[in-house]
Amino acid sequence: MAKGPSYCVPYRRRREGKTHYRKRKALIISGKPRLVIRGSIKNIVAQVVTAKPEGDVVLVSAHSRELLKNFGWKAPTGNTPAAYLTGLICGLRAKAKGIEEAILDIGLHSPSKGSRIFAVLKGFIDAGVEVSHSEEKLPDDSRINGEHIANYAKMLLSNPEKYSSTFSKYLQSKLPPEELPRHFSEVKQAVIATFKKGGNNGGD
């Protein structure tokens, strides 16, 4: 551990790996609302946040568990298709509140090409909110709609034991993983239709 008369102990949240203060300062100085994306193995959260002197204020938010409760999603809520749909919901809520532009805040997540973080971003952008980004970082449509998962499931059909263990959560929900792209398309249309009717503007 560093020590000496000029050494300053990092802020608690930096020590805990929760906040990168230099990056946060740059984002706040931009003056734009931040699209804050945070994820765990099982879920992902997207929020549009603005900084105030008294602290951050959440303008709108979306959680991947909403897909199960409100839109009939049967697949796991931590995968790439679920991340995209969560971003789409957050983006549609932002548009409904008159938010036209945001800046991406991924915290301490690694900016890996095609990751779930950028799947959320793609969904948010597809909702019509402008966010500065690099196109090469976004996952392609085959990952967004779960084709890579469906193709892997088809490959495992010849090994029933591994197929059952790998896709147990899909099968418990009575969703054959090979049908994930179709299911994704149905849920995406349900999300869009709900907002066209002026519903499901919660999460703020």
For residue range 24-64, what is the model confidence (pLDDT) as tens digits? Answer: 555 566 678 999 999 999 999 999 999 887 878 999 999 99
For residue range 97-132, what is the model confidence (pLDDT) as tens digits? Answer: 999 999 999 876 678 999 999 999 999 999 999 999
Structural domain boundaries in the chain: 18-196
Distance set, CA 114 to CA 97, 122, 136, 153 (Å): 28, 10, 8, 20
Return the higher-pLDDT residue of 157 and 198: 157
Contact partners, residue 35, CB within 8 Å, separation at least 6: 46, 47, 48, 90, 102, 103, 104, 105, 121, 124, 129, 131
On the question of pLDDT at 134 being above 60, the answer is yes
Name the pTM for this structure: 0.86
Class of domain 18-196: alpha beta
Residue 194 has which token pair? Answer: 């709900």
